[in-house]
Amino acid sequence: MKTAQELYDEIIASDELKKAFAEAMKAGKLEDFLKAQDCDIAEEEIKEFIEAKAAEDAPIDLSEDELKHVAGGSTIHSETCYCTDNTCGCSDTCIRDCC
């Protein structure tokens, strides 16, 4: 018998199983689908498992302050460079290095 995780992994890896799972959900035949996939889990258990997996995979919203500290990111400023008197859109690194 397959575990919920094993079945989930198979469904994610197969477009055919994704389609069959979705059709079983829509038709109210999830129990039949689970049996056909050799998975002895109650319908509610698999629904809860999949909801939990979806929550794990949900995008994380970051605040503006957190986004400023993301590796590889930069903040664009439009400030006057005190060394050159130029006003342009410079990255914070450019301004620090110049001034």
> Do residue 49 and residue 69 come from a single domain?
no
- Asked if 57 and 72 touch (Cβ cutoff 8 Å), the reply is no
Domain extent at residue 88:
65-98
Residue 74 has pLDDT above 80, yes or no: no
pLDDT at site 96: 47
Taking all residues of the chain, what is their mean pLDDT, rounded to a whole number? 75
Q: Which of 80, 76, 70 is nearest to 93 (CA)?
A: 76
Which residue, chain included where needed, has tokens 């829509």? 26
Mapped onto helix, strand or coil, the DSSP state of residue 57 is helix
For residue 82, give every residue at least 6 positions away whose Cβ sits within 8 Å of its Cβ, in sequence order, or none.
Answer: 99
pTM beyond 0.85, yes or no: no
> Do residue 8 and residue 35 come from a single domain?
yes
Q: Which of 13, 49, 53 is nearest to 30 (CA)?
A: 49
Domain count, the chain: 2
> Do residue 94 and residue 72 come from a single domain?
yes
